[in-house]
Structure 1
Amino acid sequence: MVMGEESPRSPEAKVGMQVEDLWDIQEPQLSPTEKLNACFESIPVSAFPPAPLHQGIEIRSDSSLAEAVQILAEHKILSAPVVDVDAPDHASWIDRYIGIVEFAGIAVWILHQSEPPSPRSRSGGNALAAATNGAISPLEQQVLGPESAAATPGSFFESLTSSELYKSTQVRDISGSFRWAPFLALQTSNSFLTMLLLLSKYKMKSIPVVDLGEGKIENIITQSAVIHMLAECAGLQWFERWGTKTVSELGLPMMSPASIVKVYEDEPVLQAFKLMRKKRVGGIPVIEKGGRAVGNISLRDIHFLLTAPEIYHDYRSITARNFLTAVRDYLEKHEESSPMLSNMITCKKDNTIKDLILMLDSKKIHRVYVVDDDGNLEGVITLRDIISRLVHEPRGYFGDFFDGVLPLPQNSRV
């Protein structure tokens, strides 16, 4: 390399440099947050780097749950769009896709298989239909209470994954939809600001970007991808102005110690997944009897129940502790890297937001637990929390976005 030649910038860093150029020409009276809002409003979503090829996976609507789980697990992704095999070749994107299937949705199906029918629960078909897009009803909240989480024997998931029901239930059988379309999507002309707000304030974990001309998904932007982009922007002026603020200066953590959703180590692991579903969180700490956190279980970890059920066979019940132990042993045996092999990832309130971003990106995790000097939990910070501190929603910003960008399908009854 020639002396003094700059090293190649990543695609994500190039986006950061666009923000840098825009930052320099903003009105001087604007606050740093207002400047960032203006910068991100000026950059189209089409500038966001394409997702890795494995994240562009699509699942056929006639695939079985077993096949869908295998595809998601093999490609290490949490969700994938479902293509309607009966759609015509030149269908619009609204008619081409029927929804998004995710581990969280399949988890709902599993939970309904693990307990007897309740008079308070909805019928199986309707319950499955809510699985795809994260919807949960008051009735589901009732049946997902602690009292219904029986101690599941270690052989349960071996029996389930070998059952005809698991092999024959198709993805389309559990596919729900948003009011307007198969899923909430962006067009390539929408702005970064719109995308960041949907991923933070509006609590979306991923957003497909559609090509209206082709009727297909052109990109999928996730919270993790945004955090990676921010990590690649370290050193740029605008990032350093924002990223060197401490966690407490930015009003984090948003969740107090009392409101942290947790599961105790001797509780059934299904209780952990039920709590995540009921409380709409992606992961929870596992607490030992003394009150110390000994691990973390996330929704993406549910695939271990389905892809390696034999590792629990010798357990009389799959408690949260047994789940952590079995999965860690399995990962070490197969020499696989995973966040589950790490101890609890923590930070202090005086850590900078830059520290957290670099940590989350390097370790490929979705949350960091905030602790005091004695190691006691003080809160949790998620990817969404960080993105929410990057931008704010201007008054009336979205207007009729949800009705205008995503028109009602012709057959909609809403």
Structure 2
Amino acid sequence: MVTMEESPRSPEAKVGLRVEDLWDVQEPQLSPDEKLNACFESIPVSAFPLPPSNQEVEIKSDTSLAEAVKLLAQHNILSAPVVDVDAPEDASWIDRYIGIVEFAGIVVWILHQSDPTSPRSPSSGSAISAAVNGITSAFEHEASGLESAMTTSGNFFEDLTSSQLYKDTKVRDISGSFRWAPFLALERSNSFLTMLLLLSKYKMKSVPVVDLGAGRIQNIITQSSVIHMLAECVGLQWFESWGTKKLSQVGLPMVTPNHIIKVYEDEPVLQAFKLMRKKRIGGLPVMERGGSRAIGNISLQDVQFLLTAPEIYHDYRSITAKDFLTAVRSYLEKHEGTFPMSGELITCNKDCTIKELIQLLDHEKIHRVYVADSDGNLEGLITLRDIISRLVHEPRGYFGDFFDGVLPMPPNSRV
């Protein structure tokens, strides 16, 4: 396991120290769980450290999908807020931003292109509307979509990324695939508890924090950044009282072997992405055919390799999940340091503690860990969201009318 310095040093550690101070003055009759809730409720999200400058990315609404993919991949981020280029300079934040573009939404767009009912010709006048506006869902054609995915070759991705359709489709054109419309954001004065509940119970991947005075997003807090904050709290009393518990003591893993969404090594890689979107998950294991051992992991972010380096697949008649893992690993070895490692399956065992698990997730910069036995057979799955959900709980009536002002997802959205 990864070892950490006993004394935290990063800006995130200051938050942990603030919780420690609050922990010591909480009412003695409160349970440890109630104490943690009270501590996080007392800290505003404005106290959360800002992200590194290389991750402060906003994408203009007239940016092409091709350029958006490059920007997300270059900065190693899953999503970015989209700024409306037509908004006036003095616009409020809700008018300035039209949503968040993410790899997940781009995957939906790709699946439309792999569907035989979707027009692929760049010259087709209806191509963009049929492909990106959600008129026909790829998931309504599972049988034909799977057949298409099985026959999709590396040439498809080369043709797609060189087509005018891919180059001309703008980020604003796929707004129907955004998770929120425009999105749910917090004010600087909202609490850590609110933020943690949104990232766990309410399944948000990231939470924008807006500066109402400036009318702009000040920070975007992700599940990964929260896990890093927790990793920097090792050694603090409040963290140790929780972090030294074994997984089973806090109800982990929540996902059991029978409920792990997976693909087999000989299935098409596009089927893996289809499952991720249909089941609304961020990744899945690639399993040996006829066995219970996994040979790798595919995540939504891995779609970047289909779009930024399609030349690595041009020799494949069809791209299976195993082909995908092999090609990406080979590509990463040749471009060491350019991209984070992808496709590796990170595991832990049932006797692992919360602290050890958090350190592992933070060190490996991953979003999920598979629980495996000594023979490598999968026994469960733990995500960042699962861990955060075990840190805090939602008090009865906590949110009140908080969600009343949130715009619903577009009716045709499948995200």
TM-score, length-scaled by structure 1: 0.90
Match status 1:41 vs 2:37: no
Distance 2:263 2:404 in 1: 39
Deviation per CA, 1:135-189, whole angstroms, max 9, x where unpaired? xx9x654334674533311111011000000000111100138898511000000
**Structure 1 residues 232, 144: CA separation in 2 closer, same or farther (over 3 Å shift)?**
farther
Cα distance, 1:335 vs structure 2? 1.4
Deviation per CA, 1:368-406, whole angstroms, max 9, x where unpaired? 0011233211110000000000000000000001125x5
Distance 2:56 2:16 in 1: 24
**Structure 1 residues 204, 180: CA separation in 2 closer, same or farther (over 3 Å shift)?**
closer
Match status 1:293 vs 2:294: yes
Is the 2:154–2:317 contact (alpha carbons within 8 Å) kept by the matching residues of 1?
yes
Q: 1:9-408 counterparts in 2 under 5 A?
A: 9-117=9-117, 125=129, 128-129=132-133, 141-144=139-142, 147-148=146-147, 149-176=149-176, 182-291=182-291, 292-336=293-337, 338-340=340-342, 342=344, 344-403=345-404, 406=406
Distance 1:290 1:169 in 2: 41
Cα distance, 1:7 vs structure 2? 7.3
Is the 1:177–1:183 contact (alpha carbons within 8 Å) kept by the matching residues of 2?
no
Distance 1:20 1:324 in 2: 43
Cα distance, 1:128 vs structure 2? 2.6
> Which stretch shows the higher mean deviation, 51-60 or 298-307?
51-60
Is the 2:287–2:295 contact (alpha carbons within 8 Å) kept by the matching residues of 1?
yes
Paired residue secondary structure (2:98): strand
Distance 1:177 1:117 in 2: 19
Is the 1:20–1:237 contact (alpha carbons within 8 Å) kept by the matching residues of 2?
yes
Distance 1:127 1:255 in 2: 34
> Aligned partner of 2:263: which letter?
V
How many residue pairs match? The answer is 392
Is the 1:99–1:176 contact (alpha carbons within 8 Å) kept by the matching residues of 2?
no
Is the 2:206–2:221 contact (alpha carbons within 8 Å) kept by the matching residues of 1?
yes
**Structure 1 residues 398, 62: CA separation in 2 closer, same or farther (over 3 Å shift)?**
same
**Structure 1 residues 67, 20: CA separation in 2 closer, same or farther (over 3 Å shift)?**
same
Give the unaligned 5+ runs of structure 1.
1-5, 132-136, 409-414
Distance 1:198 1:400 in 2: 15
> Aligned partner of 1:51: which letter?
P
Distance 1:227 1:376 in 2: 26
> Which stretch shows the higher mean deviation, 299-308 or 373-382?
373-382
Q: What is the percentage of aligned positions where both structures have the same residue?
A: 75
Paired residue secondary structure (1:155): helix
Paired residue secondary structure (2:95): helix
Paired residue secondary structure (2:247): coil
> Aligned partner of 2:378: which letter?
L
Deviation per CA, 1:245-297, whole angstroms, max 9, x where unpaired? 00111101111111100001111100000000001110000011242200000
Distance 2:179 2:105 in 1: 18
TM-score, length-scaled by structure 2: 0.90
Is the 2:297–2:343 contact (alpha carbons within 8 Å) kept by the matching residues of 1?
no
> Aligned partner of 2:330: which letter?
D
**Structure 1 residues 387, 91: CA separation in 2 closer, same or farther (over 3 Å shift)?**
same
What is the root-mean-square deviation of aligned Cα atoms in Å?
2.3
**Structure 1 residues 315, 345: CA separation in 2 closer, same or farther (over 3 Å shift)?**
same
Give the unaligned 5+ runs of structure 2.
1-5, 119-126, 409-415
Paired residue secondary structure (2:153): coil
**Structure 1 residues 264, 243: CA separation in 2 closer, same or farther (over 3 Å shift)?**
same
Distance 1:163 1:126 in 2: 16
